[in-house]
Amino acid sequence: MNSSMEQNEMCPTCEFDKNLSILREIYFFSELPLDTLKVLAYLCTRENFKSGEYLFHQKEDDGRAFYLISGQARMFHEEGGSTVIIRDFDKDTFIGSLALLGSFRRLFSLQALTDMTCLILERQKFAKVLEQFPAIMPRVLQAAAGSIYSWEKKFLAQMDEGCDKCRRKLGVSVV
Amino acid sequence: MEKAPTPVFKRSLFSWVFSGNIKLQVILLIIVVVTVFARVLPLEMQKRIINEAINLRKIDLLLIYCGIYIAAVVLASGLKFLINVLQSIIGQQAAASMRKGLYHHILTLPLNFFRRTQPGMVVASLITELATAGDFIGMAVAIPVTSVLTLLAIAGYLFWLNPLLAALSLSIYPLVVFLLPWLQKKANRENKKRVDTTRDLSSKIAESISGIHEIQGNGAFGIENRKYDRLVDKLTKVRIRWNIYRFAIKVSNNFFNNLSPFIIFILGGYLAIKGRLELGALVAFLSAQEKLFDPWRELIDFYQSYQDASVSYKRTMEYFDAESEYVLEPADRKPFELDGNIEIKDLSFATETGVRLLSEINVSLKSGQHLALVGFSGSGKSTLALCIGQLYNYTGGNLLIGEKEVATLTKKDIVQNVGFVSQSPFIFDGTIEENLLYACRAKLNSNDAAPDSSLPSLDDMIEVLQQTGIFVDVLRFGLNTVLAYDHDKTFVAKIIRVRENFQRNYGRTLTDYVEFFDDDRYLYYSSISENLILGTPGREEFSEKKLLRNDYFTTFLKQADLTRPLMNLGADLSRQTVDILGNLPPDEVFFQQSPINADELEEYRLLAERLRKTKLHQLSIPDQERLLELALRFTPGRHKMAALPEVLEKLILEGRALFRDKISKDDPGAVSFYDISEYIYSQTILNNIFFGKTKAESPQAQEKINQSIIQLLIAEDLLEAVIKIGMDFQVGSKGDKLSGGQRQKLAIARVFLKDPKIMILDEATSALDNKSQARIQNLLETRWKGNSTVIAVVHRLDIIKNYDRVAVMKAGKIGELGSYDELMAKKGMLYELVHGTK
């Protein structure tokens, strides 16, 4: 049975309202005005993934951002013939804000580790919304730049001192 | 060489008056002359009626003259109508020729032109601006000739009657000629001020409204009120002055108009008393005086429209005053069939402002060789590709295709030999098939639709659909089609067989993706009306659109206690949808998941507004029906802005059973309930195969469904038939019903189908997934290498290994040129690009 239906039967709140409150808690969208968020929440779709299914593949440009409503996902990197596990993502994580902003081929693959439900927003839809609300562009850019910046800040704070090699590659926030 | 016609943008406004219309204009002139005569004739009749018939008390003369009078009046009115008709035909024809001529010209303008031109500007020019010019052309002959001739004829007649009185009564017109334009000028100046002040006032209001936080926060009501009041006062003064001038014009017009009779009375009366003027002549004078006014006013109006038309015409034509860089078609020969050799020597390209985008480009390619152009964005690779395709006009050096200089070739020569896939290909409104044949049609015949025999066959089309990987998408479009009732019965029977096989082989495995029709369960991916009826209407009044006008059905809704809860749901849906989509344009993306269609949004917006102030039961009957209609469309699996209350769900299921019982007794033929052994004509082919509906549209779900369906269709030999249906899919304006990848695949398919000697691919596979990209690359290597010369601008470097030559571009020059292996061994620029900069 589709998960959205189960929720529907249990409580009278509609999926749209739930999507809206999820978006409001995601840093990337949190600065956006309510009328824009409503449209985005409306355009989001929910998808179920069975354990083992891929959310996206390395080298593909799927152009989608994911919010993990339930379940876990694992990120891989394919190097030559082998696959290296990078990290796992738990529920309530948002992945792929950059995929909304421009066309990139994924550098990693993401696979469902358990059965999952995700909230998905497509770049094509996001672009249409940007077209309609051009005034939000600065906030979106700020959020994108901000998330890169805070990622590196956090990385610096948590970095293992022994990781000298990594240190030489630092500086993604000053590209 | 024959004398080239004047280009459309160089033609004067008046050149349109007679072009293509000479016959009509001559007819018009003849009618005008007759009309003028018919206008003057009643004057003479008036005179004779009084002088001869009344004075001499002759009834027969009275009848004759009155007869002539009325005939002249009828003739004049009839002819006036005819003049208007002709005028309108001439005007509309002129506007049409201008629109066609200009549009045809605009399409040939260099790409540069469009970089600085907004589409809106072109639209306004072609539609609004030229309409004024067209209207003017319509009146350009008729109005001035009619008016001047009428004026002259009446004046001549008056002089013939009595020169002294004529001279005096006409003497006021020179005065009018000076005074009225002077007043008009003043009025125009005030009008301009009025427009400017209104604009200031509008922006002031807009500013206050958007800055209302600041105003209220600072309590700056006084400051803002003063600024606003000042502008209002200014506008008031300007408007008063403007109105004064306008009234002055009106009043003086009337005054002069009434002054003439005064002169006629005083002088004419005196002359009549003295016996030097007949009474009939006096009456003729009086009515002639009245008749002078109309042509006079028409002349003034004509002058005004001439001013307007010439300004907008000149502005429009000046805007498009640019020449195409190429001749479109060869005048005295067939288009060349070139071989695929390309020779580029010292080629350069500079923009109008002198920025050099390409320089010192030297490449030579043998027919059938493949060249990859790589480099960073802005390195000039796309520019070079566009120069080879004649879309940019190179400014120096030589570019030879099949030993012919590209700059000297006509567009037709290029089209005949070159195929082009641009970075973000454009797909036009129409079907998949029309878009697929776009390049072939353009190549075959630029004027008329080519006879079908010379176009590619269905097999050819299916082959390119498969090669480019859009086959599955087209199949999907076909499967999503609702068949007409009279569709081929054997096809329908085969679909029923596919359904049986589907249920047997895949029914269980696809339950996650398909919601099967089931009499005992609520269907979340079907609308409420489908849930209630779960059948196909046997008669028109039970079709989804007509349900609410069907008394039987509305009574049933009441009996099943559904009316009020459904109306409630409808109200909820309209409030939510209007709130979310209220200000968005009618774009497919926004309305895909909405129960309200784009064209109904305004209606429901007003309804939602009324709902805020009114209780449900107080709404008008049409409003209540609208809410019910919306609720009946509600499909919880698709329309996520509202929830289906559990109670309502139960009521609907009960309602379904009740409806079944009732209608089977009352009207057995009205609805045929879904039956697994029957084709359901109200549903798509895919839903028929499923005997249900898809739940998920996700890529994985689609992939799984496609795999199973394709096999089943092949087994019944239906694949081709469904593809054929799918090719009739309407792609929407700018192809917006297709994804970026689908658009790109379609554009590649279009070129493959054209099969040109030279193919230019400008990042043609950038939006495709890995598999599709690899498939197309593979095809280029196996099928086109040695046959067609390929120039591919490539962003992804993993596909260039098998190109004959790779050119690495940097800052508008070719930095490296050679085979992939050579360049990689050299460890130069390509190596750096592939492995990233250090």
Q: Within an 8 Å CB–CB cutoff, is residue A104 touching chain B?
A: no
Does residue B240 have a pLDDT over 90?
A: yes
- State how far the Cα of B525 lies from the Cα of B634, in Å rounded to an integer: 9
Q: How far is CA B424 from CA B427, B740, B761, in A?
A: 10, 8, 11
Per CB-CB distance under 8 Å, the chain B contacts of A47 are 696, 698
Of B234, B247, B248, nearest to B196 by C-alpha is B234
Q: Report the percentage of chain B scoring pLDDT > 70.
A: 98
Say which DSSP state B266 is in: I
Position B174 scores a pLDDT of 79
Does residue B94 have a pLDDT over 60?
A: yes
- State how far the Cα of B1 lies from the Cα of A42, in Å rounded to an integer: 64
CB contact under 8 A, A38 and B740: no
Looking at chain B from residue 730 to 759, which residues have their Cβ under 8 Å from any Cβ of chain A? 739-740
CB contact under 8 A, B640 and A14: yes
Position B158 scores a pLDDT of 87
Of B139, B141, B132, B126, nearest to B8 by C-alpha is B126
Position B746 scores a pLDDT of 92
Alpha helix ranges (H) inside B49-58? none
Which of B92-96, B116-120, B461-465, B799-803 is least confident? B116-120
Position B528 scores a pLDDT of 94
Span B352-376, pLDDT tens digits? 888 889 989 999 999 999 999 998 8
- State how far the Cα of B414 lies from the Cα of B418, in Å rounded to an integer: 6
pLDDT band for position B837 (50/70/90)? low
How far away is chain B from the Cα of A142, in angstroms, using its nearest Cα?
23
Give me B195's structure tokens.
């427009």
Which of B275-284, B556-565, B617-626 is least confident? B275-284
The distance in angstroms from the start CA to the end CA of chain A is 46
pLDDT band for position B262 (50/70/90)? confident
pLDDT band for position A7 (50/70/90)? very low
- State how far the Cα of B753 lies from the Cα of B773, in Å rounded to an integer: 18
Span B480-497, pLDDT tens digits? 999 888 888 889 999 999
3-state class of B429 per DSSP? coil
Per CB-CB distance under 8 Å, the chain B contacts of A45 are 697-698
CB contact under 8 A, A8 and B739: no
Q: Within an 8 Å CB–CB cutoff, is residue A59 touching chain B?
A: yes
Say which DSSP state A136 is in: G
Q: What is the mean pLDDT of chain B?
A: 87
Position A175 scores a pLDDT of 75
Position B348 scores a pLDDT of 92
Give me B356's structure tokens.
């050099």
Question: Which residue of A14, A103, A105 is in closest CB contact with B641?
Answer: A14
Give me B676's structure tokens.
């697994």
Does residue B4 have a pLDDT over 80?
A: no
Position A13 scores a pLDDT of 67
- Provide, for chain A, the percentages of residues in helix, strand and coil under a 3-state DSSP scheme, each rounded to the nearest 5: 45, 25, 30
Position B447 scores a pLDDT of 47
- State how far the Cα of A140 lies from the Cα of A101, in Å rounded to an integer: 9
- State how far the Cα of A48 lies from the Cα of B585, in Å rounded to an integer: 31
Q: Which residue has the tokens 């009501």?
A: B221
- State how far the Cα of B237 lies from the Cα of B235, in Å rounded to an integer: 5
Q: Answer for the pair A113, A88: CB distance below 8 angstroms, yes or no.
A: yes
Q: Answer for the pair B328, B410: CB distance below 8 angstroms, yes or no.
A: yes
Residue B179 CB-half CA count within 13 A: 15
Per CB-CB distance under 8 Å, the chain A contacts of B643 are 8, 12-15
Does residue B433 have a pLDDT over 50?
A: yes
Q: Within an 8 Å CB–CB cutoff, is residue B331 touching chain A?
A: no
Question: Which residue of A2, A9, A15 is in closest CB contact with B640?
Answer: A15
Does residue B449 have a pLDDT over 80?
A: no
Span A147-163, pLDDT tens digits? 899 888 888 888 776 67
- State how far the Cα of A150 lies from the Cα of B505, in Å rounded to an integer: 52
Per CB-CB distance under 8 Å, the chain B contacts of A4 are 637, 640
Q: Within an 8 Å CB–CB cutoff, is residue B120 touching chain A?
A: no
Residue B330 or residue A40, greater confidence: A40
- State how far the Cα of B62 lies from the Cα of B51, in Å rounded to an integer: 10
pLDDT band for position A3 (50/70/90)? very low
Quick one: closest CA in A to B768, which residue?
Answer: A61
**DSSP, residue by residue, B317-361:** HHHT----SS-SS-SSSPPP---S-EEEEEEEEE-TT--EEEEEE
Residue B5 or residue B588, greater confidence: B588
Phi, psi of B212 (to 5 degrees): -60, -30
Consecutive H or E run containing A74: strand A73-79
Amino acid at the residue B642 = A
Does residue B306 have a pLDDT over 90?
A: no
Phi, psi of B749 (to 5 degrees): -60, -40
Per CB-CB distance under 8 Å, the chain B contacts of A132 are 583-585
Position B239 scores a pLDDT of 94
- Give how far the C-alpha of residue B495 lies from the chain's centroid of Cα atoms, to the nearest Å: 38
Position B175 scores a pLDDT of 80
CB contact under 8 A, B636 and A42: no
Q: How far is CA B143 from CA B36, B253, B291, in A?
A: 12, 20, 15
Per CB-CB distance under 8 Å, the chain B contacts of A5 are 524, 636-637
Q: Answer for the pair B483, B492: CB distance below 8 angstroms, yes or no.
A: yes
Q: Within an 8 Å CB–CB cutoff, is residue B593 touching chain A?
A: yes
- Provide, for chain B, the percentages of residues in helix, strand and coil under a 3-state DSSP scheme, each rounded to the nearest 5: 65, 10, 30
Question: Which residue of B580, B593, B697 is in closest CB contact with A38?
Answer: B580
Looking at chain A from residue 33 to 52, which residues have their Cβ under 8 Å from any Cβ of chain B? 35, 38-39, 42-43, 45, 47-49
How far away is chain A from the Cα of B298, in angstroms, using its nearest Cα?
48
Phi, psi of B722 (to 5 degrees): -70, -40
Does residue B657 have a pLDDT over 90?
A: yes
How many CB pairs (< 8 A) connect A and B? 74
CB contact under 8 A, A15 and B590: no
Amino acid at the residue B777 = Q
pLDDT band for position A12 (50/70/90)? low
Position B1 scores a pLDDT of 41
Position B443 scores a pLDDT of 81
Characterize the bridge pairing of strands A94-95 and B813-818.
unpaired
Quick one: closest CA in A to B581, which residue?
Answer: A39
Q: Answer for the pair B387, B394: CB distance below 8 angstroms, yes or no.
A: yes
- State how far the Cα of B623 lies from the Cα of B218, in Å rounded to an integer: 44
Position A22 scores a pLDDT of 94
Q: Within an 8 Å CB–CB cutoff, is residue B68 touching chain A?
A: no
- The angle subtended at Cα B234 by Cα B229 and Cα B238, nearest 5°, is 145
Strands (E), B587-723: 671-673, 692-694
pLDDT band for position A120 (50/70/90)? very high
Q: Answer for the pair B395, B817: CB distance below 8 angstroms, yes or no.
A: no
Per CB-CB distance under 8 Å, the chain B contacts of A19 are 640
Say which DSSP state B595 is in: S
Say which DSSP state B454 is in: G
Amino acid at the residue B346 = D
Chain A contact probe: residue of B423, B568, B698, B769 with most A CBs at under 10 A: B698
Report the pLDDT averaged over residues B620-625: 91
Compute the residue count for chain A.
175
Q: Within an 8 Å CB–CB cutoff, is residue B518 touching chain A?
A: no
Q: How far is CA B511 from CA B484, B514, B525, B687, B744, in A?
A: 28, 5, 13, 14, 33
Position B213 scores a pLDDT of 87
Q: Within an 8 Å CB–CB cutoff, is residue B695 touching chain A?
A: yes
Phi, psi of B694 (to 5 degrees): -70, 140
Q: What is the mean pLDDT of chain A?
A: 86
Amino acid at the residue B249 = I
Q: Answer for the pair B474, B432: CB distance below 8 angstroms, yes or no.
A: yes
Span B765-781, pLDDT tens digits? 887 877 888 888 888 88
Span B14-57, pLDDT tens digits? 888 888 788 888 898 999 999 988 888 888 888 889 888 888 88
- State how far the Cα of A38 lies from the Cα of B580, in Å rounded to an integer: 6
Amino acid at the residue B548 = L
Looking at chain B from residue 616 to 675, which residues have their Cβ under 8 Å from any Cβ of chain A? 636-637, 640-646
- State how far the Cα of B612 lies from the Cα of B609, in Å rounded to an integer: 5
Question: Which residue of B636, B696, B770 is in closest CB contact with A8?
Answer: B636
Does residue B450 have a pLDDT over 60?
A: no
Per CB-CB distance under 8 Å, the chain A contacts of B593 are 42-43
CB atoms within 10 A of CB B452: 8
How far away is chain B from the Cα of A167, in angstroms, using its nearest Cα?
16
Per CB-CB distance under 8 Å, the chain A contacts of B700 are 49, 53
Per CB-CB distance under 8 Å, the chain B contacts of A38 are 579-580
